[in-house]
Amino acid sequence: MNDIVLTSFLTASFGIIGALMGYIIINFYIEPIKELKMEIGMVSYKLILWAGELSNPGISKDMSEASSDLRKSSSMIRAKYAVIPKRAFCDCFYGIPDANNIDIAGKALMHLSNSVSTRIPDNIEKSNDHIEQSIAKLKKALIIETDFE
């Protein structure tokens, strides 16, 4: 009789511990990584959405909205990366960008945000080159393989 009670107790205990461990892994690792990857996808979407404003900065009436949207993405990328525990482990294991690449992407998005609303009037080609360089840095840092042209 004692063996049945002990076996039942151990089975229930290990079941509870297993469920708790699963809950912790999902909520503290999987969900934040999923949200970061979704935000990276949104950056790709926003680059396509605002391609007209990025290729003709300072001209479109939607430039302030594009600037604000890109600035929010810069903040969100950094914020969503910051909540991932043991980031160095997750960078390798889950294939997410490392801290340096997140910083590069955040700066590139901020530069794009600033570039949308301003334009170098004397040298439009130089302005467009800066935007193209920021997009190239962003694509490399976040491992985005979409062609935006």
- Ordered alpha helix ranges (H), the chain: 2-25, 31-49, 51-55, 63-82, 87-94, 99-117, 124-142
Residue 55: per-residue pLDDT: 80
Specify the fold of 32-142: Methane Monooxygenase Hydroxylase; Chain G, domain 1 (1.20.58)
Is 80 within 8 Å of 142 (Cβ atoms)? no
Residue 91: per-residue pLDDT: 66
Domain boundaries defined on the chain: 32-142
Model confidence at 45, in pLDDT bands (50, 70, 90)?
A: very high
- 87-102 mean pLDDT: 79
Supply 90's token pair.
């997750």
Supply 97's token pair.
């960008």
pLDDT digits (tens, 9 = 90+) for 110-146: 999 888 876 655 666 667 788 888 899 999 999 887 7
- 6-22 mean pLDDT: 90
Q: Calculate the CA 68 to chain-centre distance.
A: 16
